[in-house]
Structure 1
Amino acid sequence: MIESTRRAVSRRRLLGGALAGGAALAAGGALGGCTSRADARRIDTDDRWRQFEGTTLNFISENTAPTAAIAANLQPFTDLTGINVNIVTLELSAMVQKVALDLASGQSQYQIIYADPYQVLAPYSKGLVDLRELADDPTLPGQSAEFGDFVPVQMDAAGRFGDDGKVYALPYDCPTMIWHYRKDLFDKYRDRMAAELGFDPMPGDDSTWEQYLALARWFTDNADEVDYGSGHQAKQHDSLMCDFSNVLWAYGGDYFEGGQEIGRLGAVDPGRCTLNSDTAIEAARVYQRLLDVADPASSTWEWDGLGAAFRAERLAMCINWHEYAADNESVLPGKVGYARLPKGPSRSANHYGGCGIGISGNTMPNERKAAWLFLKWATDTGTQLSNLSSDAGGGTPTRQSVYALPEVRAAEQRPSDMPNMLTASAVEQAWQPENSGLRPKIPMWNECDTAMYTQLSKMLVGDLSPDATMREAAERFDRITARGWVAAG
């Protein structure tokens, strides 16, 4: 990974050794003194923020950019509340295992949980607190009406499971896949490409995947500044499913019938898989063509590898998470542009990969109230604004009110001290319901994800045709969902 001079942190990469006042940022393992079942002590005070002064909470999170920024500047929370927070960060699968064990134990070693929608929220929603009860508690700051400030698609996808109105998590991070392109090269060759290709090459609302394919070929053949026109995160990994899904949805395919609703609110029984539909098969054919003209190393890259290759000036464009903008700007200042993804016959679909933070249902009454204070502070407008400028990285706001702030609006243009905001126009379009790409929020998604990227990998090495890939993937999905998931039942 090319080092960023801003020490920017990507979605799944955390700078080691970060310590904040009142917080210990650890790589895992037990936390001393956190297995006691004694409830937090409440102090008799009129200050609703300080009534649990002296409490210690434990927050388990994937090693993400927002958590890095919060850990590096946690002192304001401790000063506000008198509460100490220990932060444990792990790779996602290891974090999920610890959360599952903790919820099953009936204990609450970790009161605050990074609730990945697919690996925590969907299978374990019954083990999380309905946050509406805390938001409307008159003894605590906040009210559930404030939930309306979160981007609506994110509130549903990261915070809910089911249509009963319950809220299990507050949107905490919001990585979204958009089009990264070398604006300097597009500007340089724009007229020539337009004449030779027959369309305006500049990424915009009318850009299509077929045009993206033509642009990839053109840059590979004609631009000496880069080695290839495009690259993909096509390693046999979750990244391959993410990359392919954008094309699947754009061409009118989906994993299940009613896929957008299942992506927003979730389902225990999603019905039969629809990957064997004509539209899904056509999407697989297009995706195969995209990889045929991309950098051959694409099959070895996930999101970090792709981002590094783009910053190394190996590629003219790629599809990646928008939060790589900070890294791009530090290495290629002023040279990168951003747009929502190309459209297919159905729509433009931009994969949303955000998560929320919730509270373990095993917490004691006062303990969960103290945890609510952290959730409210961590997702507050002021905290999200601070994270945008953090030297330790930081994510992109999930509250709409942050985007309306004058200093944030100003940061959408260069020079910007909040480089992730250079993607604001693209992600604001991507988060519109008609443009959002949501994978199925089902308890069995982890197995389905593995089946999807395994089959796609076989297609990309020539072992399976696109038709066979999608038919076999659909069969595997149906076998997986037929087994159900006991934790959700």
Structure 2
Amino acid sequence: MFAYVEPAKGRTDMPSPLPARTVATPALSRRALLRGAAAAGTAGLLTACAGRSDAVFDSEAVPWKRYAGTTLNFISENTAPTAAIAADVKPFTELTGIRVNIVTLELSALAQKVALDFASGNGEYDVVYADPYLVLAPYAPAFADLRQFQEDSELPDLSGGFGDFIPAQLDAAGRFQDSGKVLALPYDCPTMVWQYRADLFAKYRERMADDLGFDPMPSDDSTWEQYYGIARWFNENTDDVRYGTGHQAKQHDSLMCDFSNLLWSFGGDYFADGMRVGRLGAIDPGKCLLRAEEAVAGAEFYDRLLRVADPGSLTWDWDGLGAAFRAGRIAMCPNWHEYAASNEAALPGKVGYARLPKGPARSAAMYGGTGIAVSNVVPARRQQAAWLFLNWATAPKAQLSNLASKVGGGTPTRTSVYEVPRVVAAEHRPSQMPNMLSARAVREAWQDKNIGLRPKIPMWGECDTAIYTQVSRMLAGDASPAAAMKAAASRIDQITARGWVG
């Protein structure tokens, strides 16, 4: 009755839990893995399910206890909710009699291991952290439709049903192409918000307003042009911080995330019907739209913004940016909302959170959430036992416990948890659940008009690399914004034209 947590490669200790996000490293070649699945449904992918024995089963036991004696394997990225569950999985074992081994890896390594497991048919992992872009979209046939378990009267009901999950998250993290099937339950939900030194904004508010001609305090009316002006003002008028803004602009997936906020806010997108491609996904998304004038305008502004940002931005991913902000080096930044807990530990009472500014088209905030899924490669009873874990791990009670965890804890993906009185109270200081200090900002960001969803396509890992490679060239001065967008679009068109099998 234990949880084994395998550290990320190269580490002898378990890394600090952080919000889940995509690392754009292509997984195992899909040519060999999915040729059969593409031709004949799941037949070529789900071989014999012969790698592991089926779950222990007692038909006379109560539903939660019928699989007592079974051991499940859960593979996850090192995320906040997984850290919390790993530290306190005992209640699940006491409830079910099921042991859970938890393996945590860096995301690209996780995608490789899951792909190999599916290709071999061994079914080593019963529960999978199904990143929508590197795992769910490429290998959708290998995941069970969770509706079968929810509709089975012999299995415990999912508290609140699928309808209790935030709708955009259920689509983005839980579905692929088919709006009916549910392949994963929303498990974490990191979303980018405007994080700022509220103490410094209060200190200089009147001076900034006089100099800039607008109220600098972040609000739903704030624009990216105003954000740029505020950044320059801090650069030129105070020594409280070294720079007004910082960004996660390393040549890395983080750069794609940071840039995408501006792309969408200027009316650009990666493909036509971007909201559908982001929410439900597509195998053939069509031609890339980065050549469009809206996309170029977004790139031009991003290039201009980074020229007044902390130069360290070009070396930072989300972790580096978060550390710089907590160290007092910058006055504000766009970053994942789940850094609120570490911000509060380093700068207690000094940080504020708001929805990202508006561009000419809208405000757009990158959503980086992921679901957990049941492998279709494992035997039937083992799938049912895995469903019990999904049911328990995403239940309101577990999400409430995770939110208050001292070792990790994520932000809830269920509407009902946000209505719990002590959760509502935690949105204000003093807060025992510091991630809730960013709750108002992320609720705004999750609205359909504001949410930013990267394309959920099987070949996204390669497209992601094309984007951050060309945007990095632009920031280095090696390509104009228009040239960078054209080059990225051309490469993406090559990738998508090849198709998802390869």
Q: TM-score category by the smaller chain? A: over 0.9
Report the alpha carbon displacement of residue 381 of structure 1 after superposing the two structures with TM.
0.3
Match of 2:17 in 1: 9
Q: Provide, for residues 77-105 of structure 1, a one-character-per-residue CA deviation record: whole Å limited to 9, x for no partner.
A: 00000000000000000000000010111
The answer (yes or no) to whether the contact 1:309–1:315 under 8 Å persists in 2 is yes
Is 1:162 the counterpart of 2:170? The answer is no
Q: Provide, for residues 11-41 of structure 1, a one-character-per-residue CA deviation record: whole Å limited to 9, x for no partner.
A: 259xxxxxxxxxxxxxxxxxxxx98532112
Match of 1:78 in 2: 93
Match of 1:132 in 2: 147
**What SS does structure 1 have at the residue aligned with 2:75?**
strand
Match of 2:260 in 1: 245
Match of 1:255 in 2: 270
Is 1:193 the counterpart of 2:208? The answer is yes
Query: How is 1:68-217 mapped onto 2 (pairs within 5 angstroms)?
Result: 68-143=83-158, 146-217=161-232
Match of 1:467 in 2: 482
**Which of structure 1's runs of 4+ aligned residues deviate more than 3 A?**
none
The answer (yes or no) to whether the contact 2:56–2:67 under 8 Å persists in 1 is yes
Match of 2:391 in 1: 376
Instruction: Decide which of 41, 44, 65 is 1:50's aligned counterpart.
Output: 65
Q: In structure 1, what is the Cα distance between the partners aligned to 2:52 and 2:354?
A: 50
Is 1:60 the counterpart of 2:75? The answer is yes
Match of 1:433 in 2: 448
The answer (yes or no) to whether the contact 1:8–1:327 under 8 Å persists in 2 is no
Q: Structure 1 residues 12, 44: closer, same or farther in 2, change over 3 A?
A: closer
The answer (yes or no) to whether the contact 1:160–1:265 under 8 Å persists in 2 is yes
Q: In structure 2, what is the Cα distance between the partners aligned to 1:11 and 1:37?
A: 32
Q: Provide, for residues 162-193 of structure 1, a one-character-per-residue CA deviation record: whole Å limited to 9, x for no partner.
A: 13411100000000000000000001111111
Q: In structure 1, what is the Cα distance between the partners aligned to 2:267 and 2:177?
A: 24
Q: In structure 2, what is the Cα distance between the partners aligned to 1:93 and 1:121?
A: 13
Q: In structure 2, what is the Cα distance between the partners aligned to 1:320 and 1:77?
A: 33
Moved more, 137-146 or 239-248: 137-146
**What SS does structure 1 have at the residue aligned with 2:352?**
strand
Is 1:289 the counterpart of 2:304? The answer is yes
Instruction: Decide which of 411, 423, 428 is 2:438's aligned counterpart.
Output: 423
How high is the TM-score relative to the length of structure 2?
A: 0.90
Report the alpha carbon displacement of residue 107 of structure 1 after superposing the two structures with TM.
1.9
User: What amino acid is the match of 2:452?
Assistant: G
Instruction: Decide which of 280, 295, 319 is 1:265's aligned counterpart.
Output: 280
The answer (yes or no) to whether the contact 1:8–1:394 under 8 Å persists in 2 is no
Report the alpha carbon displacement of residue 223 of structure 1 after superposing the two structures with TM.
1.8
**What SS does structure 1 have at the residue aligned with 2:73?**
strand
Q: In structure 1, what is the Cα distance between the partners aligned to 2:446 and 2:157?
A: 25
Report the alpha carbon displacement of residue 135 of structure 1 after superposing the two structures with TM.
1.1
User: What amino acid is the match of 1:196?
Assistant: D
Gaps of at least 5 residues in structure 2 are 1-14, 22-48
The answer (yes or no) to whether the contact 2:18–2:78 under 8 Å persists in 1 is no
Report the alpha carbon displacement of residue 142 of structure 1 after superposing the two structures with TM.
1.3
Match of 2:244 in 1: 229
The answer (yes or no) to whether the contact 1:135–1:144 under 8 Å persists in 2 is no
Report the alpha carbon displacement of residue 391 of structure 1 after superposing the two structures with TM.
1.1
Report the alpha carbon displacement of residue 8 of structure 1 after superposing the two structures with TM.
6.5
Report the alpha carbon displacement of residue 10 of structure 1 after superposing the two structures with TM.
1.9
The answer (yes or no) to whether the contact 1:253–1:283 under 8 Å persists in 2 is yes
The answer (yes or no) to whether the contact 1:273–1:477 under 8 Å persists in 2 is yes
**What SS does structure 1 have at the residue aligned with 2:101?**
strand
Match of 2:7 in 1: none
Q: Provide, for residues 197-223 of structure 1, a one-character-per-residue CA deviation record: whole Å limited to 9, x for no partner.
A: 011100001000000000000011112
User: What amino acid is the match of 1:138?
Assistant: S
The answer (yes or no) to whether the contact 2:179–2:280 under 8 Å persists in 1 is no
Report the alpha carbon displacement of residue 143 of structure 1 after superposing the two structures with TM.
4.8
Q: In structure 2, what is the Cα distance between the partners aligned to 1:163 and 1:372?
A: 20
Is 1:299 the counterpart of 2:307? The answer is no
Instruction: Decide which of 380, 386, 401 is 2:401's aligned counterpart.
Output: 386
Q: In structure 1, what is the Cα distance between the partners aligned to 2:299 and 2:311?
A: 18
**What SS does structure 2 have at the residue aligned with 1:201?**
coil
Report the alpha carbon displacement of residue 393 of structure 1 after superposing the two structures with TM.
1.3
The answer (yes or no) to whether the contact 1:35–1:109 under 8 Å persists in 2 is no
Q: In structure 2, what is the Cα distance between the partners aligned to 1:246 and 1:484?
A: 27
User: What amino acid is the match of 1:105?
Assistant: S
Q: In structure 2, what is the Cα distance between the partners aligned to 1:267 and 1:396?
A: 28
How high is the TM-score relative to the length of structure 1?
A: 0.93
User: What amino acid is the match of 1:197?
Assistant: L
The answer (yes or no) to whether the contact 2:186–2:413 under 8 Å persists in 1 is yes
Match of 1:485 in 2: 500
Q: In structure 2, what is the Cα distance between the partners aligned to 1:206 and 1:447?
A: 36
User: What amino acid is the match of 2:390?
Assistant: L
**What SS does structure 1 have at the residue aligned with 2:208?**
helix
User: What amino acid is the match of 2:19?
Assistant: R
Q: In structure 1, what is the Cα distance between the partners aligned to 2:244 and 2:127?
A: 43
Q: In structure 2, what is the Cα distance between the partners aligned to 1:35 and 1:412?
A: 49
The answer (yes or no) to whether the contact 1:251–1:347 under 8 Å persists in 2 is yes
The answer (yes or no) to whether the contact 2:129–2:370 under 8 Å persists in 1 is yes
Report the alpha carbon displacement of residue 485 of structure 1 after superposing the two structures with TM.
1.1
**What SS does structure 2 have at the residue aligned with 1:123?**
coil
Q: CA RMSD in A?
A: 1.4
Q: Provide, for residues 42-66 of structure 1, a one-character-per-residue CA deviation record: whole Å limited to 9, x for no partner.
A: 1133411000000000000111111
Q: Provide, for residues 363-383 of structure 1, a one-character-per-residue CA deviation record: whole Å limited to 9, x for no partner.
A: 111100000000000000000
For these two proteins, the number of residue pairs brought into alignment is 461
**What SS does structure 2 have at the residue aligned with 1:356?**
strand
**What SS does structure 1 have at the residue aligned with 2:178?**
coil
The answer (yes or no) to whether the contact 1:96–1:120 under 8 Å persists in 2 is yes
Indicate the percent of aligned positions where both proteins have the same amino acid.
66
Gaps of at least 5 residues in structure 1 are 1-6, 14-33
